[in-house]
Each structure stands twice: as C-alpha cells, then as structure tokens.
Amino acid sequence: MCRLNFEMEELIPVVAKLAGQYTGFESTSVTYERAEQLMEAVLYCIREYENTGTETLLPENILAEEAYRQGFHLVQEKAQELRKLCNSLTPFFRTYGNICLKDTILKGIPEFFKWYDMKFAPMDTIITLDYPVPADLSAYSGVDTVYEYIKIIYQEQRFLQTMDASYIRQVLEHSLGDYENSVENLGNAVFLNLMVHIMLKKPLETAGFTESERQQIIKWCEPLTYDELEIHLAELTVKFAETYWQRDSDITAYLKSHVKDVAVRIKNGQF
C-alpha cells in the first residue's frame, strides 16, 4: 500500500477524522464511495511525505496521522510552488497561435486552481492537460502531475523563445502544416528541425529542407539501428546545449527528452 507499511487499523482513524471534517463534524458517516476517496486522499498525502528526502531518513516509528499531517502540508506547499511557477511563466508565455497550447495553459490551469481540493481529493488531477509534453507523467497524480507538467512547459518556452517567433512559425508550418490546430508538441517539431539541420551542417536559422536533403538524411541513417541513432542524437544534443545554453542542465534535460521520438521520426523519414 505504501513504503511505511501502515496497517489498515492505523489508517482508519485518520480517514475517520478526515470524514468528520468533510461532514463538518456533524457525522462521520459517509458513503462507501466517499470513504474510498478519503482513504486515497490520506494515502496520497502519506506518499507525498514518503517522497521527500531519502527513504533512509524516514522515521520507522512515525504514526500514520503524523505522516498524513506532514504529507498534507507538503501538498499545500506544492500547490503554492505551482502557483509561483505559473506566475513566473505567464509574463513571457507564447502560444505561437496553437489553440491546444493556449487552451491548456490559459484556460485549463486556472480551472485546476479553481477546483483542486487538496484536503479531500488531493489525488485528482481534474484537468486533462491536452497539450502533449515529452514525458510520461502517468506515475503522477493531483498537484504533482500539474507541477511536473508546468515545469516542462516552462523549459519549453525558454527553449522556443531563444528563436524569433517568425522562425518558429515557419518551422511549425513546414513540420505540422496547420499548426494552429495541431495537437503535436511544438518544441518537438522545432528540435527535430534543428537536429536535421545540424546533421546536414546547414545554418540553424533556416526552416525546413529540400526533398534531396531529406533523402540524404534517410540514406545516412539506413545502416543505423534506432538505438544507435538515438545515441548519436543525444551526443549532438549535449553539444548543442553546451554551445547555445552554457550547459544549462534544465534545458539540456528538456532537449534530451525529445531525443527518442526524434530518432524514430528521422529513422522513419517522418520529417
């Protein structure tokens, strides 16, 4: 159930207390479905506590109620950190005309803050986060999902805004066509364009490439396996980040998150 291995009899009093808060202490009687939800809320907060620091520092004799209390405090802090991150993103956020990105960030995120119930349902993510990012966030839920998501969006915006908006739009039009209505990740399309240009030894400020150049890349990749191409692109990515980002670890990690997908696209001639 959780690494601290609390028995059910240790968790039930914590859930009962939370149920009392839910009903305004008029009653601790709730439906079975609601009780399940409150149990998951308790476990979510305990997991939040577990995930702080190193596992060896967790006291073995901590009570379930104390682990929950500290975890709930961490959920509150995470929500505050998320709000600060969103506030720092807003002033320089650009959508490049993409509706999915615009709606997800400018409409979806405010809805999350409006409806997120960190007390009784902290595990609910609430919004769908339709704009895709180059990371698997399925292991997260609730505020953790949105926080990890916005961290990626923040780095994506930093990456994109080192280039002129007109250049970004040219790349997106070449790569995605109707990019305004696309549900593809914009950073991925731009990164793909850059990697192909680096491989062609073409100036990076140009967008797109000819069919002859595309065939040149496809032919060059033919003897390589997907893994070999991925390793090559990862090396190019690190050099690119060192050259243009002075080894910025956040940007480097963001760019490397695109490498696997870009390797597949290049190997399959999907560029």
* Total domain count, the chain: 2
C-alpha–C-alpha distance, residues 84 and 105, integer Å: 14
Domain contains 160 = no
Query: So what's the pLDDT on residue 53?
Result: 58
Residues 130 and 221 in one domain: no
Question: What phi, psi does 268 have (nearest 5°)?
Answer: -90, 5
Distances (CA, A) of 13 to 37, 50, 260: 15, 20, 47
Residues 73 and 144 in one domain: yes
Same domain, 256 and 191: yes
Instruction: Name the band, by pLDDT with cuts 50, 70 and 90, for residue 29.
Output: confident
- Residue 54 pLDDT exceeds 60: no
What is the per-residue pLDDT for 1? 42
Q: Is residue 120 part of a domain?
A: yes
Note whether 51 and 131 are same-domain residues: yes
- Tell me which of 45-59, 66-80, 186-200 is least confident: 45-59
Quote the pLDDT of residue 46: 95
Helix (H) or strand (E) holding 254: helix 249-256
Q: What value does the mean pLDDT of the chain take?
A: 93
Domain boundary among 126, 149, 172: 149
Element (H, E) at 175: helix 165-176
Note whether 87 and 136 are same-domain residues: yes
The domain boundary residue, chosen from 104, 126, 149: 149
Contacts of 1 (CB under 8 A, 6+ apart): 43
Give the pLDDT score at 206.
Answer: 87
Q: Among 128, 149, 170, where does a domain finish?
A: 149
The per-residue pLDDT for range 148-202, each reduced to its tens digit, is 999 999 999 999 999 999 999 999 999 999 999 999 999 999 999 999 999 999 9
CA triple 200-206-207, angle to 5 deg: 95
Rounded to whole angstroms, the Cα distance separating 263 from 261 reads: 5
What's the helix, strand, coil split of the chain in %, to 5? 65, 0, 35
Is residue 190 domain-shared with residue 145, that is, in the same domain? Answer: no
Long-range contacts of 142-146 (CB under 8 A, 24+ apart): 142/44, 142/75, 142/116, 142/118, 143/75, 143/78, 143/79, 143/82, 143/116, 143/118, 144/48, 144/78, 146/82, 146/109, 146/112
Single pTM value for the model:
0.92
Report the chain's terminal Cα–Cα distance, integer Å. Answer: 45
Residue 126 shares a structural domain with residue 197? no
Percent share of the chain, pLDDT over 90: 85
CB atoms within 10 A of CB 201: 6
**Domain that includes residue 126, residue range:** 8-149
